Amino acid sequence: MSDENKEIRNDIKAPKSTADSSYAAKAVMSEKDLKKTAAAQTVMQILVKFLVYAFLIIMAIIVLFPFYWMINSSLKTLSEYREVVPTFWPRKIMFSNYLEAYNAANLGRLFFNTVIVGVVSTLLSLVITVLSAFAFARLEFKGKNLLFAGLLATMMIPGELFTITNYTTVTNLGWRNTYTVLIVPFLVSVFYIYLLRQNFLQIPNELYLAAKVDGTSDIKYLWRVMIPLSLPTLISITILKMMGAWNSYIWPRLVANDEAHRLITNGLRNAFKDTTGDVNYPVQMAAVALVSFPLFLVFVFLRKYIMKGVSRSGIKG
């Protein structure tokens, strides 16, 4: 009886041993498959990263090459600049081109005029934009939505269509060749009002109602609550407005072309021609580099505020 029991036990144990060995083999195979899959995923991730970074590097080279060529050309002599085969680095570095450009174009006066127009127009535009955006976001009055829709509709009209009428208006008012004509016509920006209104709508309306219950005035609520919460968007508007004033070309060319009120973009137009009409292009490139340098610094140090302000304004929540 005991021998039979031993045989039965051995018969029972045999399948279990076979099953264990089969399970272990499957586990080993599964582990190998996982390692192969992980290795393939790692290779794919590396390949994707390589392609992404290669694409970004190529795009960066395409974007930065004009700036490099500007600096390269600004450091050359005129004879080297006019050579048929261009050189990618000047044989003789001419830092004197920058001093000559500053004196020839009277850049000091041009910078002063541009800063005056940019700062004043930006401050006044911020006041108008903040008050308008607050009215459309929080105040209730008849025709608010219809008026706002009308403002948005004007964004569909190209700005060039207003040039003739604006020119006639400022001429009749006697504003030509003044700072006023460079500042007043572009104080209101529907895009900036829309941008800030969308940001104001993200602030819970319950805060405004609670402030009204406590007897807080609209101006005080705007100054103490809404402006601090919308500061990234306001910084973005400030930067974009200053850059717009800095790069303005057509309107200043039409209405304020005298030397006392000329801005940077117009001052570089004919400042580097000699008596024969030839242009000293290396000196002109040096002037362009000097003019572009402040905007380059603005973009490098304040780009995160521009992106943050625009991204915050695009979401209502």
Q: 107, exposed or middle or buried, with CB in 10 Å at 0-12, 13-18, 19+? A: buried
3-state secondary structure of 279: strand
- DSSP classification of residue 273: B
**Strand pairing partners for 279?**
273
Yes or no: say if 200 and 226 are a contact pair by the CB < 8 Å rule. Answer: yes
Residue type, 208: Y
pLDDT for 126 equals 94
Average pLDDT over residues 37-54: 89
Tell me the β-bridge partners of 273: 279
Q: What is the mean pLDDT of the chain?
A: 83
Q: Which residues contact 137 (CB under 8 A, 6 or more apart)?
A: 197, 200, 201
Residue 31 is encoded by which pair of tokens? 């582990």
CA distances from residue 119 to 146, 172, 223, 316 in whole angstroms, order as listed: 32, 26, 21, 31
C-alpha angle 278-282-284 in degrees, rounded to nearest 5: 70
Residues 247 and 234: their CA atoms lie apart, in Å, by: 20
At 250-273, the pLDDT tens digits run 888 888 878 888 888 888 877 777
List the structure tokens of 265.
């973009």
pTM, two decimals, is: 0.74
Residue that is written with structure tokens 């080993």 in the block: 28
Q: d(Cα 251, Cα 121) in Å, to the nearest integer? A: 14
Ranges of H-type helices in the chain? 2-74, 78-81, 96-104, 107-137, 144-154, 163-173, 180-183, 190-200, 205-213, 218-221, 227-229, 231-247, 250-255, 264-267, 281-313
pLDDT winner (highest mean) among 16-30, 252-266, 296-310: 252-266
pLDDT for 87 equals: 87
| Of the candidate ranges 2-16, 68-82, 202-216, 236-250, the one whose mean pLDDT is the lowest | 2-16
What does the alpha-carbon distance between residue 202 and residue 231 come to, in Å, rounded to a whole number?
13
Task: Determine which of 27-31, 81-85, 219-223 has the lowest per-residue pLDDT on average.
Answer: 27-31
Q: Give the span between the Cα atoms of 45 and 35, in whole angstroms.
A: 15
Look up residue 144 and give its two tokens: 């608010």
Average pLDDT over residues 268-283: 77
Q: pLDDT at position 192, please? A: 92
Token pair belonging to 203: 């602030």
The candidate with the shortest Cα–Cα distance to 254, out of 120, 143, 188, 159, is 159
Q: Which two tokens stand for residue 278?
A: 């030839």
Query: Over the stretch 100-122, which tens digit does the pLDDT of each residue have?
Result: 888 888 888 889 999 999 999 99
